[in-house]
Amino acid sequence: MTQGKGFLIDLKSMEDIKSFANTVVKYDSDVNIYQGSKSYDAKSIIAIFALDTSIPRFVEIISNDKEEIEDFARDMEKFVPTKEEQDGQYTQLWL
């Protein structure tokens, strides 16, 4: 059974975007990034650059491989906003 594992992430700079793009392409499974009600292919650098960088967004890997999901979780840690950052921006994600 395929399952997803997702995270709220914040790509604040061009370096964050590049690092994120280089990270997600190494996964064989689908990785989606969500902004509002729309989803995008997180492996598409064009899609990533088209997103609003002023607010955090949700990213999800779709996989049934537990090891891959765990690796993805570790890789996403550097993009997860702090609790303080989330408090100020989290509501914007869903407006």
pLDDT digits (tens, 9 = 90+) for 22-70: 999 999 999 999 988 889 999 998 988 888 877 778 999 999 999 999 9
> How far is it, in rounded angstroms, from Cα 52 to Cα 11?
9
Is it the case that residue 74 has pLDDT exceeding 80? Answer: yes
Q: Which two tokens stand for residue 87?
A: 């408090």
pTM confidence score = 0.80
The tokens for 58 are 């949700």
Cα-flanking dihedrals φ and ψ of residue 40, to 5°? -135, 155
Give the per-residue pLDDT at 54. Answer: 77
